[in-house]
Structure 1
Amino acid sequence: MTSWTDTELDRIAAADEIDLASERADGSLRDPVTMWMVRTGDFIYVRSVKGREGSWFRGAQTRHQGRVRSAGITKDVTFQDADPSVQEAVDAAYRAKYGDRYPGIVDHVLTAQSRESTLQLAPADGAEPPAGVPATAANGGAARPPTRLAHAGRGSDSGC
């Protein structure tokens, strides 16, 4: 699996928001959704305020891949369910990054419902699974990276 570079991690972590566009079944991108994200170690995480029922989250479950833009970086990524062991660290990262400036809002990404939707964003490596092998098996449990990504403009699929 491809990793984020230190420069990418630093720049994205310093930004307040990320634009996330998930891939539809036909390979085109949905309109991007602007959301908060946090860095924990060498990983970037996002959450849906509405949990697994949020429209952008449901869209991300179609192919588990898409494109993100933040801090001048555009990257094709896979969306992987976060390991439950990172939830407290992700909570702490959200509190540290947004808590002082948005104390009444940050609590919305710290609920049990929101925590259930925590996704780790991983750079896509471009590898295709062998014929007949499910994408998750071919990439050691990771979703298959994007194959056909179309350009999408800034949109308003705001089902955070």
Structure 2
Amino acid sequence: MSTWTKERLHEIATTDDLHIAPFREDGTTTGTPTWIWSVVVDGDLYVRAYNGTSSRWYRAASKQKAGQITAAGKTNDVTFEQVQGEVNDQIDAAYRLKYASSPYLNPMIGDRARAATVRILPKS
């Protein structure tokens, strides 16, 4: 399993411009990039779907398990892993810290978005 370099993870963690583009059915063409919030917890990159598991990008990421992200001016090929369990509490805390002033914070730490939590790993 591949991991982010400290430098790249820091670039992603300190920006607010992550766009996610899971692959389409063909496994090589990405869908339209979607702007999304991201957080870093214990050296891992996480995102959530605001609209939960019915979100188009989330459904594609869950099915295809790969795609691309663009953040801090760079594009990376990535894989997606669904996340459940106690790490969600740490992810909530990271969202609270990074997006404290946003009116969208509560939905992003609510049950609907928590059910659509994804860990993003660089493709090896």
Please classify the TM superposition score into its range, dividing by the shorter chain length. Answer: over 0.9
CA distance in structure 2 between the partners assigned to 1:40 and 1:93 by the alignment: 7
Is the CA contact (8 Å cut-off) linking 1:21 and 1:68 kept in structure 2? yes
CA distance in structure 2 between the partners assigned to 1:52 and 1:20 by the alignment: 15
Displacement after TM superposition at 1:74 (Å): 1.3
Q: Who wins on radius of gyration, i.e. which is larger?
A: 1
1:2 aligned onto 2:9: no
The structure with more strand, counted as a fraction of residues: 2
After superposition, give the CA deviation of every residue in 1:76-98 in whole Å (9 maximum; x if it has no partner).
11110124121000000000000
SS in 2 for 1:3: coil
Match of 2:43 in 1: 42
Match of 2:57 in 1: 56
CA distance in structure 2 between the partners assigned to 1:30 and 1:84 by the alignment: 29
CA distance in structure 1 between the partners assigned to 2:40 and 2:62 by the alignment: 21
1:16 aligned onto 2:31: no
Match of 2:116 in 1: 117
Match of 1:105 in 2: 104
CA distance in structure 2 between the partners assigned to 1:57 and 1:81 by the alignment: 9
Is the CA contact (8 Å cut-off) linking 2:84 and 2:115 kept in structure 1? no
Displacement after TM superposition at 1:59 (Å): 1.7
CA distance in structure 1 between the partners assigned to 2:17 and 2:89 by the alignment: 21
5+ residue gaps, structure 2:
none
TM-score, normalised to structure 2's length? Answer: 0.95
Kindly report structure 1 stretches of 4+ aligned residues shifted beyond 4 Å. none
SS in 1 for 2:86: helix
SS in 1 for 2:68: strand
Displacement after TM superposition at 1:72 (Å): 2.1
CA distance in structure 2 between the partners assigned to 1:45 and 1:84 by the alignment: 14
Aligned identity (percent) is 32
Is the CA contact (8 Å cut-off) linking 1:8 and 1:73 kept in structure 2? no
Q: Size of the alignment, in residue pairs?
A: 123
Q: One-letter code of the match for 1:18? A: L
TM-score, normalised to structure 1's length? Answer: 0.74
